Structure 1
Amino acid sequence: MSRPSPVSDAVHRHWAMLRLIPRSPRKIDAGRLERLLAQQGIDVHRRSIQRDLEALSRVFVDLRRDDRSKPYGWSWNERSASLEVPGMGVGPAVTFELLREHLSAVLPHSTFRALGPHFKRAREVLAQSPNAKMARWPAKVRVAPRGQPLQAPNVLPSVLEAVYTGLLEERRLVVHYCKRGADSDSEYEVSPLGLVLRSGTMVLVGTFWKYQNISQMLLHRMSHAEVIDERVVPPKGFRLDRYIESGGLGFRCGKAFKLELLVHELVARTLRETPLGKDQKLTAHDEEYLRLRVTVPDTVELRTWLQGHGPMIEVVKPVRLRREFAEAARRMAGRHGVGAA
């Protein structure tokens, strides 16, 4: 096999470089481009990258240099078209149109805006497509969220970019974060381990400073985030999927426990299709109710789910949880004037 020519090497390097440059207001400097290109197997010095960027900016008018501070940052104009080789086909255009329709309510606005050029190009491709049936497909599919929908909170683009960079390059972050109930921000050094999108809220899973216990931070509560040159050292055996499955994303109230309920047949129908846990068992109790036994994490979310079904669910065991719900029911009745003197 013949070796690539210097021209093809340059084209490959330029193409990779242009795709790594973010849209304004985010930016990237030559040093970080050097590291990211090295991860793709492209070995080039940052001086060469700087020369390439200057040359490319004369060809691509939407490629901008921010020279207000060093190191200089490079970015694409926020409204510039996406680079595509090959061009977007009808199939990918349909996919982007479905994403636009169904992610608008769950993605942070800053993330959604970053996909804007792809959505715009998708609509153009579908408008020009001779395949009318395929172009009409997005109008035939909808996603209806369960429960009361809430608006996704805003995340600062600079915070999102720093978190993405820290996760990708496995480097620590310094963040300014306002805990719930606090009047002002506090500074934390965080080792980012994973990012979870949960009902429109972005949750950063990580550890603080040199500690090994896992914590969570909500990105919309961060007023500042920056990447520092300190490597992330994950806790031994940490796996994001395992952490989620163990109930780590819930507000923990205790360890996992055996739950026993009496559930109405209407609730049982749903639970047969979408069980509460892998060991869930449903057995007959009377004409209306079934007995459910399952092992579940002890979380606030579990209590919210149980309370949401009102009288259609009765907590049998553990006794402490049954008493907790009985007391909550008494307080709720009092708040609504039921049983008041």
Structure 2
Amino acid sequence: MSATIDKIAELLGDEASYLLEHRCQTIPKEMLHLPGPDFVDRVVALSDRPTAVLRNLQLLFNHGRLAGTGYLSILPVDQGIEHSAGASFAPNPIYFDPEAIVRLAIEAGCNAVASTLGVLGSVARKYAHKIPFILKINHNELLSYPNQYDQTLFADIKQAFDMGAIGVGATIYFGSPHCRRQIMEISQAFRRAHELGMVTILWCYLRNEAFKTKEADYHVAADLTGQANHLGVTLEADIIKQKLPETNGGYLALKFGKTHPLVYEKLTSDHPIDLTRYQVANCYLGRAGLINSGGPSDDNDLAQAVRTAVINKRAGGMGLILGRKAFQRPMEEGIAIIHAVQDVYLCPEVTIA
């Protein structure tokens, strides 16, 4: 075995064999459209995407340490709007400067940097030709009092195109009272983005207080997040961003919506790789790539990031979009965490389950 797989196993600790040796008995890997160097030719070129979208998607795949693998490592930094700049950047004040954000993505060998209109626009002429830009067009903001959880457009598609972005990102809070309006806004925005040749990435997050009970937080249930993914690919998102599933049975526990017993008896299990594979299945069995989020920063960021990457890759996902675990640490530590994640996707011993 290589030194890389030994390091990955060390970071996984007691879960090493549980995650690295798992064999998926739910949805077989042969059914999936898996990531690979030929993903654009093999999968996306069969779709209705304009030629310029294929070019920009291939450009995204060809950048950074994961170039040529079909996997993605993206640095997202838009938390300054929702979580507040103070909450986001106080641990590492250099990231109040947008240039530091872009430098982190470049020095870490990311495929792209995803951020706000202000962040990317402030350094576009210096960096838009050096690393792919993904402009996040909508955000929640918690300065309004009392707080409300909604996604508001902060930018339009033409602004992304004019600054040289190769793609746009957006969030929809599926399950929220504002969901239907957000669906209509983002459907129109993604159509325009594709017309201009840009890739579309959708943050398919759930948001409803009823989804969190005393027993579990069903915002991260495989069945509910899977359906959010399915709604996202219906809007022709090229790539889906989703939180790693931590539980299942949201439809059953909350007693709403429609599901099927086979979702729980055959298509999923309690194993995190099987739960994540159900998320992939809802992305048209991988025709749209699934990238999982890195989650909040804490004392065990390196091991948690590697664990998430192993689960995503072995489930059939396309990569990780990791922010706070990297930029809330000194730059060298942040780079090391991103490299450790990328190493999972570069390691041939970490296979599809």
Give TM class, smaller chain: under 0.3
Taking structure 1 as the reference length, what is the TM-score of the superposition?
Answer: 0.23
* Greater strand share, structure number: 1
* Structure with more contact order per residue of length (Cα contacts < 8 Å, sep ≥ 6): 2
The structure whose Rg is larger is 1
* Greater helix share, structure number: 2
Taking structure 2 as the reference length, what is the TM-score of the superposition?
Answer: 0.23
